[in-house]
Chain A
C-alpha cells in the first residue's frame, strides 16, 4: 500500500510539474470551451462572437507558445509521453499561424458564412484539431502519436464535411473518413506489433534495442505499417489517393487548412519519429529510413507534379502540386539536423503562399464562378490585383526568384547537398535532380493560370474586381511572399 502511495505522489508531482510545459495546450482547451459556450448562448445576440473569441484566444495561445522557447534544449514530461523541444515549438507556431489564417479565411468565405449551421462549431472543431496537432509535434510515445493523429483526423473529417450539400462534398468527406480510418487501423496494428516486439511504447533507446534484436523483416514490417498513418497525414505516394478528391470537394478554407496545417503536422510528427530513431545514441540498424524516405520523396515529387499537368480544376491542380511539395520537402527531412532550418523556412513560406493561393482562387470562384483554369479567360485584366497576386504566389510555388519560394527551395537544396557531402549517398543526388526536373514540370502547370488569364481573350462580359477584406489579406500575404524573398533574413534570424 505504501509503495502505491509513493507512486501516486510521484505521478501527482510529475503531473503538476508537467503543467508548466503545456500552458498553450491548456489555453487551447479553455478556448475550446469558451467557443462552445459562446456558440450555445450568445451567438444569437452577437453573431460573430465565436470568431472573435477564437481569434483572441489563438493570439493568447500564440504568446504562450512563444514563451516556451525558454525551456532550453529538451523537456520530457508526463513520464515520457511528451517531449517539448524548440523544434516542436516552431511547429506549434506554424500550426497556430495556419489556424489563424484559416478562421480569417472562413470569416470571409460567403459559402460558409451563409450556411445555416453557422461557423461557431467549426471554430471549436478547429481548436480541437489544433490541440491534436500540438500533441503530434510533442509526442514521444507511440500511444500519444496514435491519439493525437486520431484527434486531428476526426476533427478534419468534420471540417471537410461541414457544409456538405452536394454529392461531391459528401463524397469527399466519406472518402476522407474511410481512407483515414483504414490508415489509422493499419498504423495501430503497426504500433501493436512494435509494442509486442519491444515491450515499450516510448520512443527511446529501449524501443530501438528491442527492434534491433528482432529479424529485419518483422521490424521492417512493423515500422512500415506504423508509417502508413503518417503517410496519410502528409499524403505522400502511395497514400495520397484521398487528397485530390478531398481537396477539390472540401470547402476552400478547409482545403487551405488541410494542405498547410494538417500537412505540417504530418511533417512535425515524422520529424519527431526520425529524431527519436536517429539520435538515441544507437541508431536503428534494421531499417533504412533515409533510403525509404528518399525513394518515397522521388516518387512523390514525380507523381504529384506530373499528375498536376492534367488538371483543369484549379483546386485539384493545387492539390496535386501540394503532393509534389511534400515530396520536395522530404528532401529536407533526409538532411536531418542540418535540414531543420530549411524545413521550417520552407513550411512557413509554403503556408503563406498556399493559403494566399487558395484565398485568391476562392475569390475568383466567388466573383466569376470559374473553378476551372480553362474558364479564366481574360480575367487577368478584369481582376488585375487578384491575378497579379495569384501570379506572384504561383511563381513562389514554382520556386523562381525573387520570391521567397525560391529562397526556400534554395535552402532545401543546400541542406540536401550538405547531407550528400556527409553521407555520399547517391540517392540524395537523385532526389536533388528530381527536385530540379519537377520544378521545370511545375512551371508548366502553374503557368496555365496566366496563360488563360492573360494570354487568351474572351468576348464575354467579365466581372469587376471587388475590393474586399479577402483581397486585402491576400495582398498582404503576397507582399510578404515577395519581401521574404528579398530579405529572407527576417525569418531565418527568428529560427535560431
Chain B
C-alpha cells in the first residue's frame, strides 16, 4: 500500500467501522473521525515535506510522485479493442497543496460536527465516505477512477445536506445533486470519447490514463478527439466541444455565474460542517478539474476560449460581489462572496501566464482556509440563537470580543488585506491577467481592471457587515434571551479557528511555502498549453 492509498481509503475503513459499530458507541464516533483526520494531516504533512519540488508533473508521467499503478479492469471488447482501466494514483505540484488543504479542512469540519446531535452513525459514516471521495479526486490520474471518486462525492453530500440541513434542505440537496450530475453525465460522454481516441504508447490499448491523454502523439489519427483529424460533432469542432463540456461540468462546481444558483441554497441549508467542506474543498475540485483536465487534455481549445473564460471569471467576480452586497442573511452573503472569490481562480487561469495560474492555485488554497473559517464563524452565531439575519444583530463586539476578533481577521483576510494569503493570491491573479495582453494576448487588460473592482466591492460588503453587526451599541432581535445565549468562543471553537487564521497569515507572509510546491507544475502547465 502506497501512502496515497492509505490517505484515500483510511476514512472509508473508519466509516465502515462506524457503520458496523453498535449504536451504544455513538459518543465515540466523533473522536474516531477526529483521529482519522489528524492521521490524514500527518500523512499529507509527510507528503508535503517529502515532495520533490523539482519534479514538474502535469504532462510528464515520470515526474509524478508517490505513484501507485495497479491494473484494475481489463476488458476485451473485440472490435473496440481492449479496455484498460488502472488504479492509478499520483501527485504533482497541482495536487499536493490540495491534499494538505483537504486534510486540514476535514479536521476543522469534524470539530464543527460537535453540533450534530441526531443520527450520529449515519452522519459520520457519510462524512468519512465524502472524505475518501475528495482525497481520491485529487490523487486519481486515471480518468475512470477520477470520475468514480468525483461522482462518489455527490451521494454523501446529498444526504448530509438533506438529512441534517435547514428548513429547505430537500430542495437544496436535490438541486445541488441535479446540477452537478447534469454536468458530469456529459463529462462521461466526453470521457468515453477520449478513451477511444487515446492509446497507451506502451501496450497499444485504449486507455483512461489522463497523462497519456495530454500527449497529442497518443491520439490515433482518425479518432474523434485526435488533433489531426479535426472532426466535428454536430457542427462544432470535436476538441472544442469536448473542452466546453468538461469545462461546464467543472464550472458548475466552481461555480461560475450563471451556473451558481445551487450554491447559495446549498450553503444556507447545509449544516455548518458541510458548508465548510463545500466552500473549503468542493469548490476547489472544480478549479482543480479545470486546470488538470480541461487545460491538460485540451490545451488547444483552452487557448481559443481563454477570452470567454476570462469574461466568465470577471462576471463571476463582479456579479457575486454585488449579490453579496445585497444579502440580508450572513451565510448567503458569504456564499456569494465565495462565488466572487472563485472568479479570481478563473481569471488567473484564463490569463495563461505563470503568475496568473500560480495565483489561481494560491487563491483556491487561501479561499479554502478563509471560507472554512467564515462559515465556521457564521455557524457559531447560528448555533447559539438559530438566527443569522444581519439586521437582527448589532454591537456583537461588546458581548463577544474574541469572536469579533476572529471575524475581523477572517473579513480582513478575505477582502485582500496585505499580509494575508488572499492578498497574494488575488494580486498574482490580477498581475497575470494584466500581463496577459502583452505576453500572449489571451485576455485583454480591462478584465484585470474589472477584476480589481471586485476587490473593492468585497471590501465594501465585508466592512459594511462588520459595521452593522459588530459595532455600535448592543441591540439584539431576541433581547435578553439572546444575550445570555451569545457566549464568547469556547476552547473547541478557538482550536478550530486558530489554525485557519494562522495558516492564512503564514501563507500571506511566506507565500513561498505554497508557491515552491506548485511553481514547477504551474510552469509546466503553462508550457503545455502555450508552448512557451
A residues adjacent to B (C-beta < 8 A): 337-338, 341, 381, 395, 400-402, 406, 409-411, 413-415, 417-418, 421, 426, 429, 432-433, 436-437, 439-440, 443-444, 447, 450-451, 454-456, 487-489, 492, 496
B182 within 8 A of A: yes
Q: A401-B151, A488-B73 are in contact. Are A414 and B158 (CB under 8 A)?
A: no
Interface residues of B in 151-195 (CB under 8 A from A): 151-152, 154-155, 158-159, 162-163, 169-170, 173-174, 177-178, 181-182, 185-186, 188-189, 192-193, 195
A209→B188 CA distance, assembly (Å): 42
- List, in ascending order, chain B residues with CB within 8 A of A456's CB: 170
* Other contacts beyond A432-B189, A443-B178: 6, CB < 8 A: A338-B79, A341-B77, A414-B83, A421-B223, A439-B185, A443-B181
- List, in ascending order, chain B residues with CB within 8 A of A395's CB: 155
Q: Can you give 22 A-B contacts (C-beta < 8 A)?
A: A337-B79, A338-B77, A338-B79, A400-B154, A410-B192, A413-B192, A414-B80, A414-B83, A414-B195, A415-B80, A417-B192, A417-B196, A426-B234, A429-B234, A432-B189, A443-B177, A447-B158, A450-B159, A455-B163, A488-B73, A488-B75, A492-B75
Please name the residue on chain A nearest to B245 by beta carbon.
A436
- List, in ascending order, chain B residues with CB within 8 A of A401's CB: 147-148, 151-152
Please name the residue on chain B nearest to A439 by beta carbon.
B185
Instruction: Report which residue of B74, B76, B178, B188 has the largest number of chain A beta carbons within 10 angstroms of its beta carbon.
Output: B188
Interface residues of B in 71-122 (CB under 8 A from A): 73-80, 83, 119
Q: Are A455 and B173 in contact (CB under 8 A)?
A: yes
Q: A436-B188, A436-B189 are in contact. Are A338 and B177 (CB under 8 A)?
A: no
- List, in ascending order, chain A residues with CB within 8 A of B76's CB: 492, 496
The number of A-B residue pairs with CB atoms under 8 Å apart is 97
Please name the residue on chain A nearest to B79 by beta carbon.
A338
- List, in ascending order, chain B residues with CB within 8 A of A433's CB: 189
Q: Are B162 and A440 in contact (CB under 8 A)?
A: no
Q: A418-B80, A455-B173 are in contact. Are A413 and B163 (CB under 8 A)?
A: no
Q: Are A489 and B151 in contact (CB under 8 A)?
A: no
A206→B79 CA distance, assembly (Å): 29
B residues adjacent to A (C-beta < 8 A): 73-80, 83, 119, 147-148, 151-152, 154-155, 158-159, 162-163, 169-170, 173-174, 177-178, 181-182, 185-186, 188-189, 192-193, 195-196, 223-224, 233-234
- List, in ascending order, chain A residues with CB within 8 A of B192's CB: 410, 413-414, 417
A31→B181 CA distance, assembly (Å): 48
Q: Which of A337, A429, A440, A447 contacts B233 (CB 8 A)?
A: A429
- List, in ascending order, chain B residues with CB within 8 A of A421's CB: 196, 223-224
A22→B440 CA distance, assembly (Å): 72
Please name the residue on chain B nearest to A398 by beta carbon.
B181
Q: A402-B152, A440-B178 are in contact. Are A338 and B80 (CB under 8 A)?
A: yes
Please name the residue on chain B nearest to A437 by beta carbon.
B185
A338→B76 CA distance, assembly (Å): 11
Instruction: Report which residue of B78, B80, B177, B192 has the largest number of chain A beta carbons within 10 angstroms of its beta carbon.
Output: B80
- List, in ascending order, chain B residues with CB within 8 A of A488's CB: 73, 75
Q: A401-B147, A429-B233, A447-B174 are in contact. Are A413 and B189 (CB under 8 A)?
A: yes
Q: Are A451 and B174 in contact (CB under 8 A)?
A: yes
Q: A413-B188, A413-B192, A414-B195 are in contact. Are A447 and B177 (CB under 8 A)?
A: yes
Which 9 A/B pairs are nearest by Cβ-Cβ distance?
A401-B148, A436-B185, A455-B162, A401-B151, A492-B75, A440-B182, A413-B192, A418-B80, A439-B185
Q: A436-B189, A440-B185, A454-B162 are in contact. Are A489 and B75 (CB under 8 A)?
A: yes
- List, in ascending order, chain A residues with CB within 8 A of B234's CB: 426, 429
Please name the residue on chain A nearest to B223 by beta carbon.
A421
Please name the residue on chain B nearest to A417 by beta carbon.
B192
Q: Which of A381, A417, A429, A492 contacts B119 (CB 8 A)?
A: A381
- List, in ascending order, chain B residues with CB within 8 A of A454's CB: 159, 162-163
- List, in ascending order, chain B residues with CB within 8 A of A418's CB: 79-80, 196
